[in-house]
Amino acid sequence: PSFIPEALKQALPAVSQYPSVAGTPVLRTAAADYLGRRFRVRIDPATQVLPTAGSKEAIFHLALAVVEPASGRDTVVYGTPGYPVYQSGALFAGGREHPVQLQRERGYRLELERLPAEVLARTAIAWLNYPHNPTGACVDRVYLAAQADVARANGILLASDECYQDLWFDGAEPPPSLLEVTTTGVLAFHSCSKRSGMTGYRSGFVAGDAALIGSFRGWRAHMGVGSPTFIEHAAAMAWSDDAHAAARRAVFAQKFRVLVDGLAAKGIEVLPSRAGLYIWARVPGGAAADAYAQRCLERGIVISPGGFFGAGSDDWFRLALVPSVEECRTALAAWPV
Ligand SMILES: Cc1ncc(COP(=O)(O)O)c(C=O)c1O
């Protein structure tokens, strides 16, 4: 929406200065107010919010800040299929990766309570991501509370990647935040990229446990990841407005419906989903996902083979709800089965 670039232009300073790692109070307050409106949680903007340059860098850097390879706490737990940065952060930090195969019949939930005690005892960070990339799976507060209990009992930092929280489909229950069940020992990662279509601005924030936010802030001072104040001003305007997020949500919901119905009519199995930016579907005819992606590409359709998101998903593919509704319809007409 035009008010966001306008806000950025208005905030461009005549004299450029280094931004602060803590971010502007205006952005921290806008983020805390958003969390209050959307999730009914009370977050202190001074101590419990930390602006980031998009959520990817913060997700990556968390492992570098927290994992201590020489200590007994060297492991990062995450679900597979999943967003690949949880793994790359762990490996660059010299930590141990612990991917957990997410099962369709268990709702693609990462269940910490099912991990061996030996793994929990050495885990520094456990990552949750619901609505889930790539499957669109969602969870409820009961699940989140159970994960928070296991994390607390085992001294694990529970990190929740919540960049798709505002993209739910028609009539669905808005996805909850981990912050609704606790702010102790947890961090939630939010982004302007999906909610406001601001991928190029690189802006997000982390919110949660004040002690963890304080130490992450101190650590990030070394990384040069402070966001320019004019970006933060535009981001503050975006977090303060819910109407544009609702309008984007309606467009994604429409694309989701068009594609799900169109794929179902062609006999392609689609995972039912309530939220997110993706469709997770089974490759038709038992073909390998890579070969099927190539066939789609020959017809001008870009899909991501399930294997891109980790081992064990080779018979699935992911569609991103990025093209226009018209382009989705055109793609369906050419869709290979
Ligand atoms: C699950 C997930 N988390 C985080 C990100 C990073 O988004 P950004 O860095 O734009 O905030 C993405 C981007 O696709 C994602 O899919």
What is the domain count for the chain?
A: 2
> How many helices (DSSP H) and strands (DSSP E) are in the chain?
12, 10
| Cβ(153)–Cβ(160) below 8 Å | no
Other beta carbons within 10 Å of 33: 15
Last residue of a domain, one of 190, 222, 241: 241
Q: Does 158 share its domain with 268?
A: no
Q: Does 72 share its domain with 221?
A: yes
pLDDT of the residue at 15: 93
Q: Does 281 share its domain with 233?
A: no
User: How far is residue 137 CA from its own chain's centroid?
Assistant: 12
Q: Does 232 share its domain with 248?
A: no
Residue 125 Cα, ligand 1 centroid: separation in angstroms?
18
Longest dimension (CA), the chain: 61
Hey, which bits of the chain come out as E strands? 49-52, 75-80, 96-101, 123-128, 157-161, 186-191, 204-208, 278-282, 304-305, 316-320
Q: For the segment 270-292, what is each residue's pLDDT rounded down to a tens digit?
A: 998 999 999 999 999 888 899 99
Q: Does 188 share its domain with 214?
A: yes
CATH number at residue 286: 3.90.1150.10
pLDDT of the residue at 167: 96
Q: Does 211 share its domain with 77?
A: yes
Q: Does 309 share its domain with 228?
A: no
Ligand 1 atom showing the smallest separation from residue 203 Cα: 11
Residue 163 Cα, ligand 1 centroid: separation in angstroms?
6
Residue 206 Cα, ligand 1 centroid: separation in angstroms?
13
pLDDT of the residue at 312: 86
Query: Domain limits at 320?
Result: 244-334
pLDDT of the residue at 231: 97
Last residue of a domain, one of 226, 241, 256: 241
Q: Does 203 share its domain with 305?
A: no
pLDDT of the residue at 151: 98
Could you tell me the two tokens for 107?
């709702």
Q: Does 48 share its domain with 97?
A: yes
Among 184, 58, 186, CA closest to 125: 186
Ligand 1 neighbours (beta carbon < 6 A): 54-56, 59, 83, 129, 133, 161, 163, 191, 193, 199, 204
* Burial class (CB within 10 angstroms; exposed 0-12, middle 13-18, buried 19+) of 42: exposed
Substitution site in 88, 135, 193 for ligand 1 pocket (most atoms within 8 Å of beta carbon): 193
Q: Does 326 share its domain with 220?
A: no
Report CA Rg, the chain.
Answer: 20
User: How far is residue 317 CA from its own chain's centroid?
Assistant: 19
Residues 6+ apart with CB under 8 A from 100: 77, 78, 79, 80, 110, 115
Q: For the segment 227-263, what is each residue's pLDDT rounded down to a tens digit?
A: 999 999 999 999 999 999 999 999 999 999 999 999 9
Last residue of a domain, one of 241, 257, 277: 241
Strand 304-305, strand 123-128: pairing: unpaired
Q: Does 111 share its domain with 231?
A: yes
Among 92, 100, 22, 98, CA closest to 63: 92
Whole-number Å distance between alpha carbons of 254 and 248: 10
CATH number at residue 57: 3.40.640.10
pLDDT of the residue at 287: 84
pLDDT of the residue at 170: 82
3-state secondary structure of 148: helix
Q: Does 61 share its domain with 90?
A: yes
10-residue averages of pLDDT along the chain (337 residues): 96 94 97 98 98 98 94 95 97 97 96 98 98 96 98 98 95 95 98 97 98 97 93 98 96 95 95 93 91 95 94 92 95 94
pLDDT of the residue at 171: 84
Could you tell me the two tokens for 305?
């083979």
Whole-number Å distance between alpha carbons of 214 and 220: 10
* Burial class (CB within 10 angstroms; exposed 0-12, middle 13-18, buried 19+) of 69: exposed
